[in-house]
Structure 1
Amino acid sequence: MSSPHDSSTPSGSTDWTTTPVTADLLRGALDVERTERGVLPHRLPARARAQCADGQLTMAEAQPSGVRVVFRTRATAIELDALRTKVAYEGAPPRPDGVYDLLVDGRLTGRAGVTGGNVLMVDMATGSAETRPGPVGTVRFPGLPDGLKDVEIWLPYNEITQLVALRTDAPVEPVPEAGRSVWLHHGSSISHGSDAASPTTTWPALAASLGGVELINLGLGGSALLDAFTARALRDTPADLISVKIGINLVNTDVMRLRAFTAAVHGFLDTIRDGHPATPLLVVSPILCPIHEDTPGPSAPDFSNLVEGRLQFRAMGDPAERAGGKLTLTVIRDELARIVKQRAADDANLHYLDGRDLYGEADFAELPLPDQLHPDAATHRRIGERFAAVAFAAGGPFAARRA
């Protein structure tokens, strides 16, 4: 595997070809912003971003989970200059660096990262954040096989990434669409990829690979809140298959009660159906999360072990508050199942999946959630494999429309 470098100067005496990174070389992004340094992929369109100034959403949608640079070339060496923005937390050890996965003709061939870049320093006690600027870095993939090949560079799911320059030792060209079905997925930080090993090993990326489909991942850490602008983004994005994973962020943030939740789910699904009236649409409820199964939110960070690098979360609500309409995961699952059953009477392409079929009590006993909210790398793999086995298998909700 290749290793990271922090210099943006081309290495060695290679005769490099520099290719502008343009939208036709990017997949998985809904918008591409030109910056002073290069291009910044976005996972929400400009109209959606203009309707919400929330810092968490701004950070999450600009972290390019599922976004990849795709091209065809005979190159044996590739360099990509990138300016990352990495998140760090006051008082905590450094978080792991983001990872770039290199796929050649669909096979993982290299894994590397960049150093340098900006640091977004977050004080979780006060909620304040400060950006500390840094230099552009370079990720290098030398020693590739000769001959014409399709190359994919999957960008880190957890670092905002401005793409500055793409260099190769042979010309590149866009890869024609392969005719595979496009799977559009929306969810929380778990779908975003939190604590996965790399961008191709988040559970949606793994499921997409197993299902043989093209992924557009709108998993937005902390931001799966049934926002109308997100529903419109889903409505307006061409797709053959759609899934929405709803629940955990609504409890985390304690953003609504049951009365508002029911109407918001119907409105969210109505909006998607305005653009995709007959597309297979799978509603997925939350995976098991014991702290919030029967205890409402909000969630709060537990700083007691932060200096040791262990951040955990705890539920701050009172189970008795469910009587007043406060949401728990059990309440959400029951209501989602009821809503889908009601709507499916007139919508044969609407389906429901209980998230505990992806990760349930037995899984928690074997692979507990390290911070009480997010799965680790092994659990991402398990969830991805199970989702693929349910959704893409013969007779599954996505089987009929796969190209």
Structure 2
Amino acid sequence: MNTPYAHTVTPLTADLLRGALDLEHTERGVVPHRLPAHARRQIPDGQLAMAESQPSGVRLALRTRATVLELDVVATKRVYPGAPPRPDGVYELLVDGSHTARASVPDGDTLTIDPATGTAHTRPGPVRTVRFTDLPTHDKHVEIWLPHDESTRLVALRGDAPIHAAPAHGRKVWLHHGSSISHGSNAATPTGTWPALAAALGGVELINLGFGGGALLDPFTARAMRDTPADLISLKIGINIVNTDLMRLRAFGPAVHGFLDTIRDGHPDTPLLVVSPIHCAIHEHTPGPCAVDPAAIAEGRLRFMATGDRAQVAAGRLTLTVIRDELARIVARRAADDPNLHHLDGLDLYGAADQAELPLPDDLHPDPAAHRRIGERFARLAFGPAGPLSAEAETEAEAEAEAG
């Protein structure tokens, strides 16, 4: 461990964190989780277990006069044999809302995953210190955003002055669920994921339940959303259903209805936006499953490809085009009885023209510039004037609920 020089130790408690639904205490520190313990006990695969423990959107929210802050962490570095090395996760420091510094740690636990065999093993590694110095001396609001794509155990927090949990600032809480794109795959920083960018532009507090490979209409995720206090909710559904080849059209519609019904059990009148998939050429008209392109791996690149048979779409296999049509139909049907339910076509966030200008580098996930474009468009279409998640829309929803 690096030698610390900030001397005031602050216990790592849940009130210091935003964007996490649970805090697990272990022998090697605390782990922020984006699903509660009862949901994690029902996770059927290692991919989702890994994804929900990666703290996308999770940040420490502090009030302090400290000029030095130190955070001891155990990061989990992922290794995929044959694939290019992954960049280190980024810790971002915001002071009074302004981006001030970034840091990373070079090592930690190492998780080696072999996609060819499905095996994985972990080698324990050291505790490292993330240090931020030369902060202004005044009493200030400080956020430390944790890496969006790197599981992180928090071991200790220190400063050269007392550190307190930041008080709530009254912003609306936006609860979002989606796939690896919402999780932030290929984004460069935790505040550079499209949901983080949209939240900043929309002036809302983000809880990001975007899970790489895990937006599969799981009932335990719906129950977690049902039980999480929120003022605004959105669901981005589709790409994982296709690229896992999880279900057919007959099952998809009822699964969407069930997911929405469960959320409505806890949020009967909350503005709820259903977002269909962005453009992804490999799966627009070709079903899954999705696979890693071995030719690209041989060249030291990571690319994905669709392996399904287009001829089977007529028999109920799903593509992004089919899912967009079905989601629009489902929302239109339900909206007759649920005026606070809304639909957004994902092609309005990133369409074929955007793909031509800002291509998906691995044919599946947006790059940092595309994340920014998606975030800016979502903020305008959802949080902007007359948007379904705008303050104006929420006022109208409250009035309708009172009238009912």
**TM-score tier after normalising by the smaller chain length:** over 0.9
Decide which of 134, 143, 146 is 1:143's aligned counterpart. Answer: 134
**Shift in Å, 1:116:** 2.0
Decide which of 124, 139, 142 is 1:133's aligned counterpart. Answer: 124
Name the aligned partner's letter for residue 10 of structure 1: P
**Shift in Å, 1:308:** 4.5
Instruction: Indicate the residue corresponding to 2:315 in structure 1.
Output: 324
Decide which of 386, 391, 398 is 2:377's aligned counterpart. Answer: 386
d(CA) in 1 for partners of 2:311, 2:84: 37
Structure 1, unaligned runs of 5 or more: 1-6
Instruction: Indicate the residue corresponding to 1:368 in structure 2.
Output: 359
**Shift in Å, 1:323:** 1.1
d(CA) in 2 for partners of 1:86, 1:377: 21
Decide which of 317, 338, 344 is 2:335's aligned counterpart. Answer: 344
Decide which of 292, 299, 308 is 2:283's aligned counterpart. Answer: 292
**Shift in Å, 1:402:** 6.5
d(CA) in 2 for partners of 1:79, 1:401: 42
d(CA) in 1 for partners of 2:174, 2:36: 18
Decide which of 220, 232, 235 is 1:241's aligned counterpart. Answer: 232
Instruction: Indicate the residue corresponding to 2:75 in structure 1.
Output: 84
Name the aligned partner's letter for residue 377 of structure 2: R
CA contact (8 A) 1:69 1:153 kept: yes
Counterparts in 2 of 1:103 and 1:83: CA distance versus 1, 3 Å: same
Instruction: Indicate the residue corresponding to 1:37 in structure 2.
Output: 28
**Shift in Å, 1:91:** 1.7
State the TM-score, normalizing by the size of structure 2: 0.96
Q: Kindly report which structure 2 residues correspond to 1:101-112, keeping only aligned pairs within 5 A, or say none.
A: 101-112=92-103
Decide which of 111, 132, 141 is 1:120's aligned counterpart. Answer: 111
CA contact (8 A) 1:93 1:308 kept: no
Which segment is superposed worse, 51-60 or 235-244?
51-60
**Shift in Å, 1:93:** 2.8
Name the aligned partner's letter for residue 126 of structure 2: P
CA contact (8 A) 2:77 2:107 kept: no
Please give the per-residue CA displacement for 1:34-90, whole angstroms capped at 9, x wherever unaligned: 010111000000011111231001000000000001110000011100001121101
Name the aligned partner's letter for residue 221 of structure 1: G
Q: Kindly report which structure 2 residues correspond to 1:1-400, keeping only aligned pairs within 5 A, or say none.
A: 7-11=1-5, 14=6, 16-306=7-297, 308-399=299-390, 400=392
Instruction: Indicate the residue corresponding to 1:3 in structure 2.
Output: none
d(CA) in 2 for partners of 1:177, 1:143: 26
Instruction: Indicate the residue corresponding to 1:4 in structure 2.
Output: none
Aligned-partner SS, 1:373:
coil
Instruction: Indicate the residue corresponding to 2:399 in structure 1.
Output: none
**Shift in Å, 1:306:** 2.2
Which segment is superposed worse, 203-212 or 116-125?
116-125
d(CA) in 1 for partners of 2:59, 2:294: 35
Please give the per-residue CA displacement for 1:8-40, whole angstroms capped at 9, x wherever unaligned: 3204xx5x1011110000000000000101110
CA contact (8 A) 1:86 1:158 kept: no
**Shift in Å, 1:174:** 1.2
**Shift in Å, 1:292:** 0.4
CA contact (8 A) 1:117 1:135 kept: yes
d(CA) in 2 for partners of 1:92, 1:369: 17
Which stretches of structure 1, 4 residues or longer, exceed 6 Å deviation after superposition? Answer: none
Name the aligned partner's letter for residue 207 of structure 1: A
CA contact (8 A) 2:279 2:347 kept: yes
Number of matched residues? 394
d(CA) in 2 for partners of 1:304, 1:79: 43
State the TM-score, normalizing by the size of structure 1: 0.96
Name the aligned partner's letter for residue 30 of structure 1: L
d(CA) in 1 for partners of 2:113, 2:165: 38
CA contact (8 A) 1:92 1:308 kept: no
d(CA) in 2 for partners of 1:74, 1:215: 25
- Percent sequence identity over matched residues? 71
CA contact (8 A) 2:10 2:156 kept: yes
RMSD of equivalent CA atoms: 1.1
d(CA) in 1 for partners of 2:109, 2:297: 22
